Amino acid sequence: MCFSATASFTSSAILCGAGFVAYRQVKSLNHLPFALIPFFFSAQQFAEGLVWMSFNYHGLFHWRMPAAYFYLLTAQFFWPIFFPFSIWKMEDPGRRKKILFALLLIGIIIGVYLGYRVSSLPFLIIESKRHLLYVTAPNNSWFFKNVSLYAIATLIPPFVSSLRGMPAFGSFIVTSLALSMLFFSESVISIWCYFAAILSLIVILILRKPVVDS
């Protein structure tokens, strides 16, 4: 995460445990992708923990770039595709499911594009004021120019879903993004992923009683 290795590894452990709880609540294979969200966030936070450790222990320096690539590809390639997919899978056939499928297609487009940029552009990792900054060449402007499509794919699906509790989940995610951009604009990728990771604990509550709102 963006504050310290300890915070990253602690959140990773908590999310891993939450993933097991969510998995045990799965009553349908259609709910399985959504239940796996805490597991994936756990792996992502563990990767950023390794990035932090590479700054403090020379022996882990060779893990910095692989862990950073995993972290960024998860943030910018995986999530805009998997998140709308997991919600689309849970939705019953109908108008909402069609809208979610359209959002999934947008996620695939922006995810593939951002994933290509991450894998093809060089970038630096800077530790500054207890935050990690991922600086691409020439800068991060290419990400923010495409943030609207990214936001459409990752923020709108919860509000389209008919599952009870999903709109509240989406509201928390939107709020966390707004706070990240307002107070941590330079490290928004790292900060928002941390907030979203913690918010993924709500997955347990949604899966506990996946009731469809009328």
Q: Which residues contact 65 (CB under 8 A, 6 or more apart)?
A: none
pLDDT at position 1:
43
d(CA 145, CA 120): 18
What residues does each domain of the chain span? Answer: 5-208
87 close to 35: Cβ distance less than 8 angstroms: no
pTM: 0.83
d(CA 193, CA 48): 10
pLDDT at position 45:
86
pLDDT in tens, the chain (214 residues): 455 777 788 888 988 998 899 999 898 899 999 999 999 989 988 998 888 888 887 777 788 888 888 988 998 899 999 999 999 999 999 999 999 999 999 999 999 988 888 888 777 777 766 667 777 655 445 555 557 788 899 999 999 999 888 998 888 888 877 776 666 555 556 566 666 767 777 888 888 866 555 4
Handedness of CA 49, 177, 184, 140 (dihedral sign): positive
